[in-house]
Structure 1
Amino acid sequence: MAIQRVRDPVHNLIQFDTTNSEIERVAWKLIQSRPFQRLRRVKQLGFSELVYPGATHTRFAHSIGVFHTARNLMNIVQEKAPEKQETSEKIALVAALVHDVGHGPFSHAFEAVGERLNLKLADHEVMSDELIRNGEIAEILNNDIMSGFASNVANMIKKEGRITLHNSVVSSQFDADRLDYMQRDRLMTGSQHSVIDLAWLLANLDVGQVAAGIDETKVGSIPTFVIGPKAIQAAEAYVLGLFQLYPTIYFHKATRGAEKLFSEILVRLFYLVRNGDIQNTGLPKNHPLVRFANDPESIETALSLDDAVVWGAMHLMIDSEDPVLSSFSDRLLNRKLFKCFDIRAEITHRCDPHNSRDPDSLAKIEKCCASAVLKLQEWQKNEDRIMPRILTDQAERRPYKTNGVGNGQTEQINVRTDGGELIDIKQRSEIVNSLSVFKLNRVYYDDSQKHYLEEIQKIVYGEID
């Protein structure tokens, strides 16, 4: 074998030296495995292409990009670390490559279904752990590198065992995963938000020791990436850039609305299958979704699921006798989404029209939003009908998470001051410190039913008066 090359829209040329590098030869072999090839059929951003037509990139491309980024970060580790730890370096690089191998169809939207139906293998972390420790990936790692290597990789992804600097490559504020998807998602959606100065950040990335322990009790220190004093502004832009991806892309109202329809389709499908009513689903008995509904603990069955399988199923379910499967499949296939009523925006406008954000106004907004959502959900439940009248949605995203003493400090951005001290960027940056949590409360409804909107407005505005 020679040099294997992948053309990538973010990193340009990604090379694998399968002759002179053991880890790159193994990585290339992992890429050819069935679990990894399945990621070609799982889009990175799920239904975001309904809003951003260019967002058709896959978990496959992202995972290769993460491996490439991890190699660049490993150069910093090798330069800054007091001694070379070849085995830990290999574990971290493989972990970066296979960290997303367990994602199901439409990625995080499938996990939401799993939470509702208690499907263990819908959780991509659980599925990834199973695939890495057992089966084809485990055989490659244990046979081509060393016995037990697959478990070491899985443990690093789960943050189990001794924490070393190499863990920061896989999981930290500046890990390879985040550094790739921030660039990739922005590029492929065409968004002009979230520009980061990656070259300057990496040039000023250093290694420092932060406190480790349990809760607030210090029991030692662990190494992690830290930012030098010259990159404060670049780090601020990084925090802001990551935060801006959520309201503009990940939490876009149309994307979330599509995810809600998708969830209702799968929940209804599983209900029918488990109640012996397969004939009304429009799917054959041997369809992957039907088999997974009947045997959700099977790794082999879960491996047969991807975006293409679900899209194909929707074409069949359009002709289903079940109104939910038929109507919602048609809506997703032809982008006839429910309309969105932004509960929080309406309440905020009426409770705090000048955006003063005083404590009393903020408290009233939170109380009204919570109460309105509960009453809307009660209204939905009160009518005994198969077809949902409304679909409610709630989520929030903190711009920057801070933690107490413990391994959580590797999730902070630690800045080295001119005096050599390490402090959290929130203490150093007024911009980061001033950022507030982004929250959403929405309800989706069929706009052909005008009285639905009237009832929604009556409930929401009734909370304000």
Structure 2
Amino acid sequence: MAVIESDPANRTHQSLVALAAALVHDLGHGMFSHAFEDIGKRINLPMAIHENVSDALVRESEISEVLNRELGRGFSEEVADVIRNKNPGNLFDSVVSSQFDADRLDYMQRDRLMTGVQGSGVDATWILANLEVGTVRINADEEEAGEVKTLVLGPKAFHAAEHYVLSLFQLYPNVYLHKTTRGAEKIFSSLILKLYGLVQDGRNDLSGLPDNHPIILFLSNPNAIENALLLDDALFWGSLHFLSNSKDKLVAEYASRLEGRRLLKCIDVRRQIEGQIPVRRGMTPEDRQEREAKITIKVKTIMKEITARSIERERNKERQILIDEYRRSPYKKFQDSQTPLNQILIRHAGVIEDMAHLSSVVSGAESFEVNRAYVSEDDTEGRTMIASIIQNSVGEV
């Protein structure tokens, strides 16, 4: 693990590395951001994953030249290393990437403003005013393994920190995992995957795009960073008119749907099952856990069957059923991250404690989960099939 240097000059250097990393870590995002990344992970397209692109840009492009010229030889390599690390190695790294980092404080406020969501506000000014540096012990296998300096919030910021966790969590159902947002992303993903298949089969002529179009160039050679850098949201939206005239039926349909905002109809499986196993008055925490377990078992069974039928339909060249499953916990506990640098820590009664230990609201918050299927509004057979699967499972409750 990297350590915090005691020498002021070295601390200044580390802070500059963290500042630069915070500024450039998202440079590699492609069109539709994380939806495009999911495609890259699914079919192994390294340059569709933003960390890989950001890493290459910081190490090898003119960004590297500027950083090294202004801040010293090898500076860009240090910045790239911070971006590449999955877990923070020291206090400065945690500012760039952790459960309480500058990125989250920024996008929570920005996304709330840009989407018009009235809730999910965060008092960043008060949080930052009560921010300090503390020293905590690191334990491994129940044995003391030294100490590390990390960000700590003073006791006056306890409720603001609690609200920060819950506000971030609420942004997921209201914005990031909203059925409309996810429905558009699923269509986008299926469209790109179909285009990739056409390109790999040498059938560019069916796509509706010319051979020198940036999307075709990237799908033809997805390992070339210069092709990845051509892609952004504006390019994709500008391509929809041509894609909607594709000779491939699925490409044409999905491009037209995105262009005209005619998304597929969402069938929210989890919500339907939750309605069949309602919350009862006077339920204990154990009762709620038992209810959640029943719901989860039912939903998993249903989604497994819907997914299998969807694959079968696709194999038979029938209409697609798009599957959406995702789970998000409001707060990752220490046992999951294995480092205090990733936690939200509060100074309470002279002792530094994890947020989850102090807040019954945070520790007791249930994970948010989506289990949905998207079908065409005129796909009567598909809708009937899904309804039958759900009904058969509900009958077994």
CA-CA distance at 1:127 after TM superposition: 1.3
| Aligned residue in 2 for 1:345 | 271
Secondary structure of the residue that 2:339 maps to in structure 1? helix
CA-CA distance at 1:216 after TM superposition: 5.4
1:403 pairs with 2:334: yes
Alpha-carbon distance change, 99 to 456 in structure 1, aligned in 2, over 3 angstroms: same
| Aligned residue in 2 for 1:372 | 302
Residue among 443, 451, 460 paired with 2:381: 451
| Aligned residue in 2 for 1:13 | none
**What is the distance in 2 between the residues matched to 1:377 and 1:303?**
34
1:462 pairs with 2:392: yes
1:318 pairs with 2:244: yes
Secondary structure of the residue that 1:393 maps to in structure 2? strand
**What is the distance in 1 between the residues matched to 2:93 and 2:137?**
15
Matches within 5 A, 1:212-361: 212=138, 217-352=143-278, 354=280, 356=283, 357-361=287-291
Gaps of 5+ in 2: 1-5
Alpha-carbon distance change, 458 to 160 in structure 1, aligned in 2, over 3 angstroms: closer
Output the amino acid matched with 1:416.
Answer: R
**What is the distance in 1 between the residues matched to 2:297 and 2:341?**
34
Residue among 345, 349, 367 paired with 1:414: 345
1:89-148 CA-to-partner distances (Å, cap 9, x unmatched) read 211111111010010101001011112211111111111111111111111112232111
1:425 pairs with 2:355: yes
Q: Indicate if the aligned counterparts of 1:99 and 1:157 stay in contact, CA closer than 8 A.
A: yes
Alpha-carbon distance change, 407 to 359 in structure 1, aligned in 2, over 3 angstroms: closer
Q: Indicate if the aligned counterparts of 2:88 and 2:341 stay in contact, CA closer than 8 A.
A: no
Residue among 195, 206, 228 paired with 2:121: 195
| Aligned residue in 2 for 1:33 | none
What is the root-mean-square deviation of aligned Cα atoms in Å? 2.1
CA-CA distance at 1:210 after TM superposition: 2.4
Residue among 381, 392, 401 paired with 2:311: 381
**What is the distance in 1 between the residues matched to 2:155 and 2:172?**
28
**What is the distance in 2 between the residues matched to 1:299 and 1:381?**
33
Secondary structure of the residue that 2:152 maps to in structure 1? strand
Q: Indicate if the aligned counterparts of 1:218 and 1:406 stay in contact, CA closer than 8 A.
A: no
CA-CA distance at 1:258 after TM superposition: 0.4
1:4-44 CA-to-partner distances (Å, cap 9, x unmatched) read xxxxxxxxxxxxxxxxxxxxxxxxxxxxxxxxxxxxxxxxx
CA-CA distance at 1:411 after TM superposition: 1.4
1:391 pairs with 2:317: no
1:129 pairs with 2:38: no
**What is the distance in 2 between the residues matched to 1:358 and 1:126?**
42
Alpha-carbon distance change, 346 to 407 in structure 1, aligned in 2, over 3 angstroms: closer
| Aligned residue in 2 for 1:146 | 72
**What is the distance in 1 between the residues matched to 2:53 and 2:143?**
33
Compute the TM-score of the two structures, normalised by the length of structure 1. Answer: 0.79
Residue among 153, 163, 171 paired with 2:97: 171
**What is the distance in 2 between the residues matched to 1:202 and 1:416?**
14
**What is the distance in 2 between the residues matched to 1:361 and 1:186?**
32
Output the amino acid matched with 1:443.
Answer: A
CA-CA distance at 1:181 after TM superposition: 0.5
**What is the distance in 2 between the residues matched to 1:283 and 1:226?**
53
Alpha-carbon distance change, 158 to 254 in structure 1, aligned in 2, over 3 angstroms: same
Q: Report the identity percentage.
A: 42
Alpha-carbon distance change, 239 to 106 in structure 1, aligned in 2, over 3 angstroms: same
**What is the distance in 2 between the residues matched to 1:245 and 1:358?**
24
Alpha-carbon distance change, 142 to 235 in structure 1, aligned in 2, over 3 angstroms: same
**What is the distance in 2 between the residues matched to 1:345 and 1:160?**
33
Q: Which moved more, 1:165-174 or 1:228-237?
A: 165-174
1:389-414 CA-to-partner distances (Å, cap 9, x unmatched) read 31110001101111239763211111
Secondary structure of the residue that 1:399 maps to in structure 2? coil
Output the amino acid matched with 2:108.
Answer: M
Output the amino acid matched with 2:91.
Answer: L
Compute the TM-score of the two structures, normalised by the length of structure 2. Answer: 0.92
Residue among 31, 42, 45 paired with 1:119: 45
Secondary structure of the residue that 2:121 maps to in structure 1? coil
Secondary structure of the residue that 1:174 maps to in structure 2? coil
CA-CA distance at 1:433 after TM superposition: 1.6
**What is the distance in 1 between the residues matched to 2:34 and 2:45?**
13
